[in-house]
Structure 1
Amino acid sequence: MTVAFGVHGRRRAGIGENFWQYRRAVPGDVLTQVDWRRSARSDIQYIRQREWEAAQTVSIWCDDAQAMDYKGPRSEFTKAERARLLSLALAVLLVKAGERVSLLGTDAVQPRSGELQLNRIAMALAGDRVRPDYGAPPPAQYRTGGRAVFLSDFMGDKEQVFPALVEAAQHNVSGVFVQIVDDTEEDFPFDGRTIFRSVGGSVEFETQRARALRDAYRKRLAERRAQLRDVARNTGWQFSVHRTSQSPRAALLWLYMAIGGLR
């Protein structure tokens, strides 16, 4: 079982290596196109056509909002660091396989292949720019029939996040949502007096009994995750959750297989 990338059949005749179909020769066809072995079995000359193959286009959105800078007290990496690592590693694998890759919302938004594009993506991921408190996929011109990968915590305003997710899928693009979270965002280990403040400072809440909020918080998180799964199911996309404490290697392998398909 292997993951196949690089060239993809377009289900029609064209330039490629794989056999597609035979058709009858018509005036104007050159003799070198005739399949003489097939033609010898009848009185008709046949042309052997090959299937058109082309590289795949993969658009990556790596959420760079300030909320992605969160790191719990026992965590080694921020959500943003993990998202950038997965984005660049996936781009490297795709480019090595001959695919065209773009990084949405950056100077590397134009799909390209090759080492120069990897350099553009790496510089964009490392660059500084004005960042919102919470992120949503930016407007983009997706390539019909392409793939997309969204890496985010998806914690922003649902009125901004979900329309953008649905809009991407409406461009005849298939893809995956990967929700990246810190362990404390999953487990909610807080107790006693606690001040909750967003990384960007736009939200602040103080409580004397943080433990009493645990069930309500987990319910809200489960609801948001169920909404993401619903969008994925309704659009034909895939959804996965990744903790920053988990191996990035496993997440990268899942991503590569999810957008490439198994053969």
Structure 2
Amino acid sequence: MTVRHTQTLRRAAEQAAAPFPALLAEAERIAASVALGTHGRRTPGHGETFWEYRRHRTEDGAQAVDWRRSARGQHLFVRETEWEAANAVYLWRDGSPGMAVSSKSLPLKKDRAAVCLMALASLLVRGGERIAALGETGRARAGRSGLDIAARALAEGTGAARSVEQADIVRHARIVLASDFLDPPETWGSRLARLNASGASGILLRIIDPAEEDFPFAGRTRFAEPSGRSAPLVLGRAEDARDSYRQVWAEHGGGLAAMARKAGWPLLTHRTDRPAGTAVLALHQALAPSIMERG
């Protein structure tokens, strides 16, 4: 590898990582303000009773291997305690193309979702919880290192749907999914049913751009699909489609709400033209009952 090529890769890496410090700083500021009105559980890890063995994953490292159990077979195993299982919170930020859009002067939906989850992660870590980015960072971790690992993945990770569909989590974990949830409610219903079957519970944070809900367009308007797979749609008088669009939007929202109620997952909606702190506080309060039950 030439020096020039190495320098090119380094610049590309720096550019890709540039948003991370800013997003984390914003998340920490929001978490600090929200923490003034919350009271996290700050007890050390009690309940060190054995919970279960699970297969070792690469990110666990050699120090996590239970060598006595592993010696009985051909696979490596990790010993998890009751506290580790009960205190695991998995966070997922949708990385689909539709999340990389925004109205003028507003943040991208994926960036607002990342900030909300990173701020929530900061609050949870302060309360003694273990956190992970679902499908990105493996096992849930505690402390500042756990926050840094999860935060970077939330800011820069792919956020692939398969992370939800093929989630590898401990039993009875709690999960927070942040997305625009533009996939059909039936699709999300199937994903949540699989998570429920594993004993997981969770919360849905629906991130929307105000233009998606208000449809403020008028005159000749060109609409392009974020993924670029379909040809752009051009309307000569966009305002003529406003009522029909809003009806379809409302029906989709109603379908999501019904699906969430059936699955038993609270659905919170957040617009990117509103303060992120309101969403973070709502998420923390929605998680509070399960935290208090174990405190």
Give the structure-1-normalised TM-score.
0.74
* Residue 254 of structure 1, CA deviation: 0.5
Structure 2: distance between partners of 1:85 and 1:96: 17
Structure 2: distance between partners of 1:142 and 1:223: 33
Q: Residue deviations 1:180-209, cap 9 Å, x none?
A: 011111100011211111222123322212
Question: Which residue does 1:215 correspond to in 2?
Answer: 243
2:201 corresponds to 1:171: no
- The 5 Å alignment of 1:240-251 reads 240-251=268-279
Question: Which residue does 1:87 correspond to in 2?
Answer: 117
- The 5 Å alignment of 1:22-171 reads 56-73=87-104, 75-106=105-136, 108-127=137-156, 129=158, 137-158=164-185, 160-171=187-198
**Which runs of no fewer than 5 residues in structure 2 stay unpaired?**
1-36, 50-81
Give the direction of change, closer, same or farther, for the CA distance of 1:5–1:169 in structure 2 (3 Å limit).
Answer: farther
**Which runs of no fewer than 5 residues in structure 1 stay unpaired?**
17-51
Q: Residue deviations 1:93-135, cap 9 Å, x none?
A: 11111111111121x1321112222121122233365x77x99
Question: Identical aligned pairs, as a percentage?
Answer: 33
Structure 1: distance between partners of 2:258 and 2:186: 15
Larger Rg: 1
- Number of residue pairs aligned between Structure 1 and Structure 2: 221
Structure 2: distance between partners of 1:80 and 1:2: 26
SS state at 2:138 partner: coil
Question: Which residue does 1:45 correspond to in 2?
Answer: none
Amino acid at match of 2:283: L
SS state at 1:195 partner: strand
* Residue 238 of structure 1, CA deviation: 0.4
Give the direction of change, closer, same or farther, for the CA distance of 1:251–1:242 in structure 2 (3 Å limit).
Answer: same
Structure 2: distance between partners of 1:89 and 1:160: 28
Question: Which residue does 1:187 correspond to in 2?
Answer: 214
Give the direction of change, closer, same or farther, for the CA distance of 1:237–1:125 in structure 2 (3 Å limit).
Answer: closer
Structure 2: distance between partners of 1:6 and 1:199: 43
Structure 2: distance between partners of 1:15 and 1:115: 21
* Residue 85 of structure 1, CA deviation: 0.3
Structure 2: distance between partners of 1:163 and 1:228: 12
Amino acid at match of 1:59: Y
Amino acid at match of 1:86: C
SS state at 1:109 partner: coil
Q: Is the 8 A contact 2:99 2:108 kept in 1?
A: yes
Q: Is the 8 A contact 1:104 1:138 kept in 2?
A: no
Q: Is the 8 A contact 2:179 2:206 kept in 1?
A: yes
Give the direction of change, closer, same or farther, for the CA distance of 1:137–1:222 in structure 2 (3 Å limit).
Answer: farther
Structure 1: distance between partners of 2:48 and 2:97: 46
SS state at 2:164 partner: coil
- The 5 Å alignment of 1:11-30 reads none
Report the structure, 1 or 2, having the larger strand content. Answer: 1
Question: Which residue does 2:34 correspond to in 1?
Answer: none
Q: Is the 8 A contact 2:92 2:178 kept in 1?
A: yes
Structure 1: distance between partners of 2:191 and 2:38: 32
SS state at 2:183 partner: coil
